[in-house]
Structure 1
């Protein structure tokens, strides 16, 4: 289901069962089936040209800016969430503050399947994130990172 405020470039592919709202998709972007991708009128979610989003991925850019660079490959079942914290009760929200910060993914990044990226994270250009990693900070450009939380374990030659 495609909602409102969708800006697309040329040759964009959106597979069945996807839900998109307040997004800007560059030329040649491909989105796998059953993805949920949304920003807000204030924080339009941006995906750069030539990027591929794997099936059943959730990109939540409602509360802050979420930007994915050009030619990125995001694996299946990834979660990118720009706000963290409890949503259940007012008491819990007072005890544990909600963090609302942008997520930025540089150009030419590869994010392995099942990876979670949370508020305030920055993944530098050309980086490779191993599957099922948990990114909660800054990963420098051309890094190989893995784990929970994700730590740099090597460098991508460039």
Structure 2
């Protein structure tokens, strides 16, 4: 007999009870401390000195791992539903700003590395794996989308044609400006800067500065010369 569905329902009930009772407590000293204490019963793991503001939503929290010194602000949503192998991992010192949406997973892994900052209104969406490195800066309203809709059949509605999933890697010490979109299958190399509003559709070499739609490398941070982008 398969007990996993009933177990997940029991876990969800526990989450709802804990979050309903404590999730809305005002951000005074007592609110974050109580959340940090009691939320340990619903997460896969949670570190020390974690600060979770009121109004943060968690789904399938038993698949969420949170390191030490993490900040999660109002309106953030972390959704690890979909499969027992799902994981969302927030490394030590990660800051998740207001109204960030992380999730929509299906047997996948989202990792945000140590001391990375995720700005307000950012969307980080599977189901492809997403790995964001250490000390990255992701500005407000950016989107990181590890999936792509299939649309080869002009007769069948796109909604029913399924999706592809290659995954996304953003290496250490990258800065994504306001409103950047990173599409599936892309690797952004270490130390790169992506200009505001750019759409990243192809790999970006390490220590590059890239701008535009689609994003093109205009210079290297290790050289003062501009790159020829006419090709």
TM-score, normalised with respect to structure 1: 0.90
For structure 2, the residue ranges without an aligned partner over 5 or more in a row are 1-56, 81-87, 224-231
Q: Matches of 1:28 and 1:90 in 2, distance apart?
A: 49
After superposition, the Cα gap between the structure-2 partners of 1:57 and 1:94, relative to the gap in structure 1 and judged at 3 Å, is closer
Specify the alignment match of 2:178 in structure 1.
Answer: 113
Match of 1:125 among 190, 205, 218: 190
CA distance in 2, matches of 1:96, 1:51: 35
**Is 2:142 the partner of 1:78?**
yes
Structure 1 counterpart SS, 2:98 = coil
Distance 1:20 1:97, change over 3 A: closer
Partner of 1:93: 158
Equivalenced residue count is: 156
Tell me how far apart the structure 2 counterparts of residues 124 and 50 of structure 1 sit (CA, whole Å). 18
Cross-structure match for 2:68: 10
Match of 1:64 in 2: 128
Alignment partner of 1:144: what SS?
Answer: strand
Q: Higher helix fraction: Structure 1 or Structure 2?
A: 2
* Secondary structure in 1 matching 2:93: coil
From the CA coordinates, give the structure whose radius of gyration is larger.
2
Larger RCO: 1 or 2 (CA < 8 Å, sep 6+): 1
Structure 1: 5+ residue runs without aligned partners?
A: none
The alignment status of 1:148 with 2:204, answered yes or no, reads: no
